[in-house]
C-alpha cells in the first residue's frame, strides 16, 4: 500500500510540475473568456487551470492535514485564505471574488503540496527545471516583441514594453524577476563550487539575459526589487556582484532613453505620467474604502468600485496594486 501511495504522489508531483511549466504560456488567454453553457458564468483557460489546481490541492490538504500543519507559515496563510473565503459572502461582486479566491488559493496550495512532495534533491532539481522551462515560450515571444516592436505600447510614454505570453508587462516582469532570483541563487552556488564566476557557470549568462528581459519590460517596481535583491547580497558578501549591478543600471540609464524617461517620471512626479495617475486614483478611492473600512467590499472588486465612483473618463480602472485589490 505504501508503495502505491509513493507512486501516486510521484504522479501528482510530475503532473503539478507540468502545470507549473505550461501555466505562464497561457497567461495571455486570461483576456479571452468562453462559456461552457449559456447560463453559466464566463471563464478562461487560466480559470480552468487554477480551478484544477485548487481542487487537487484541497483534496491533498484534507488527506495530509496533519503533515501540512507543520509547514512553515501555515497558520498565517490559512488565516489569510479563510478571510479571503469569507469575503465572497459579503462581496459586491461574489463571482469576481470567488475567481480571485481560487487564483490566490491555488498559489498557496501549490506551496503546501510541493513542500510535502519534494523528497530529495532530485525532486527539487526536477521542479527547478520545470520552472526554467516555463520561461522558454514567454522568452521567445518577448524576443520577438522586442526586435519587431510588437510589445505593449505604453499609454503615457508611447514606447513598447515586452510582455512575453503574459497579459501585461508587469506580471511578466515579476515572473522574470522570480526566475532571475532562482538563476542568481544557482549562480552563487556554482561560484562557490568552482571558485570562479565564469568557469563552467552557465547561470551567469542566464542571469545576464534575464536582466535584459527585465529591463525591456520597463517595470520600475520589478527593476527596483531586483536592485534591492542584488544590494542585499552585495553588501553582505558579494561586493563584485553589487558593482556589476550598479554598472548594469548605469549603462541602462545612459543608453536607454526609455529607462531615463521612466526614472525621471518617477523622480519628478510628472503630472502626465503613470505614477501620478496611480496616486490620484488611489487618493480618489480613499472615501470609497471608508465605506467598509474593516472588511472591505470583497476580493477583486476594486475595478467595480472604481467604475461606480469615477467611471471610465479618468482612465483605466485597474489599481496596479495587489494589496489594494485584495
- How far CA 307 is from CA of 43, 294, 302, 304, 313, in Å, comes to 21, 22, 9, 5, 9
Q: What is the pLDDT of residue 157?
A: 61
Q: How far is 271 from 215, CA to CA, in rounded Å?
A: 24
How far CA 153 is from CA of 90, 232, 249, 280, in Å, comes to: 38, 33, 23, 22
pLDDT, residue 257, reads 81
Cβ-count burial 148-174 (b if 16+ within 10 Å, e if not): eeebbebebbebbbbbbbbebbbbbbb
Q: What is the pLDDT of residues 153-190, one digit of tens each?
A: 876 666 789 999 998 898 999 999 999 999 988 888 88
Other beta carbons within 10 Å of 9: 16
pLDDT at 272: 61
Assigned C-alpha cell, 243: 558593482
φ, ψ of residue 272 in degrees (nearest 5)? -105, 10
Residue ranges of alpha helices (H) inside 118-219 are 121-133, 136-147, 169-194, 203-217
- Low-confidence spans in the chain with pLDDT less than 50: 1-4
Find out whether 157 and 266 touch, Cβ atoms under 8 Å: no
* CA gap 62, 158 in Å, rounded: 50
pLDDT score for 4: 38
Model confidence pLDDT, tens digit, residues 187-196: 888 877 777 7
E strand residue ranges, the chain: 152-153, 160-161
Domain assignments of the chain as residue spans, ordered by start: 2-119, 135-256, 274-325
| pLDDT at 108 (0 to 100) | 92
Query: What's the rounded Cα separation, in Å, for the pair 191 and 186?
Result: 8
Amino acid at each position: 500500500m505504501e508503495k502505491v501511495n509513493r507512486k501516486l504522489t510521484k504522479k501528482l508531483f510530475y503532473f503539478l510540475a507540468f502545470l507549473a511549466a505550461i501555466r505562464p504560456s497561457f497567461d495571455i488567454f486570461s483576456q479571452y473568456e468562453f462559456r461552457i453553457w449559456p447560463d453559466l458564468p464566463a471563464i478562461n483557460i487560466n480559470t480552468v487551470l487554477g480551478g484544477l489546481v485548487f481542487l487537487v490541492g484541497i483534496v491533498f490538504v484534507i488527506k495530509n492535514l496533519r503533515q501540512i500543519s507543520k509547514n512553515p507559515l501555515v497558520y498565517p496563510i490559512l488565516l489569510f485564505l479563510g478571510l479571503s473565503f469569507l469575503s465572497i459572502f459579503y462581496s459586491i461582486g461574489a463571482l469576481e471574488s470567488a475567481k480571485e479566491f481560487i487564483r490566490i488559493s491555488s498559489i498557496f496550495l501549490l506551496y503546501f503540496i510541493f513542500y510535502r512532495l519534494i523528497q530529495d534533491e532530485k525532486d527539487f532539481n526536477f521542479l527547478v527545471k520545470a520552472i526554467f522551462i516555463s520561461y522558454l515560450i514567454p522568452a521567445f515571444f518577448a524576443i520577438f516583441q522586442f526586435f519587431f516592436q510588437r510589445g505593449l505600447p505604453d499609454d503615457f510614454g508611447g514606447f513598447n514594453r515586452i510582455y512575453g505570453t503574459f497579459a501585461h508587462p508587469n506580471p511578466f516582469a515579476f515572473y522574470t524577476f522570480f526566475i532571475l532570483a532562482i538563476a542568481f541563487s544557482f549562480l552563487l552556488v556554482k561560484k562557490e563550487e568552482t571558485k570562479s564566476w565564469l568557469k563552467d557557470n552557465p547561470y551567469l549568462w542566464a542571469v545576464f539575459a534575464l536582466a535584459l528581459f527585465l529591463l525591456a519590460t520597463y517595470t520600475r517596481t520589478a527593476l527596483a526589487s531586483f536592485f534591492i535583491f542584488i544590494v542585499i547580497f552585495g553588501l553582505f558578501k558579494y561586493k563584485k556582484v553589487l558593482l556589476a549591478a550598479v554598472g548594469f543600471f548605469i549603462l541602462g540609464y545612459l543608453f536607454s532613453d526609455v529607462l531615463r524617461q521612466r526614472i525621471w517620471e518617477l523622480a519628478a512626479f510628472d503630472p502626465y505620467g503613470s505614477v501620478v495617475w496611480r496616486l490620484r486614483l488611489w487618493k480618489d478611492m480613499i472615501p470609497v474604502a471608508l465605506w467598509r473600512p474593516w472588511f472591505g467590499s470583497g476580493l477583486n472588486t476594486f475595478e467595480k468600485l472604481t467604475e461606480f465612483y469615477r467611471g471610465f473618463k479618468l482612465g483605466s480602472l485597474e489599481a496596479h496594486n495587489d494589496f489594494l485589490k485584495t
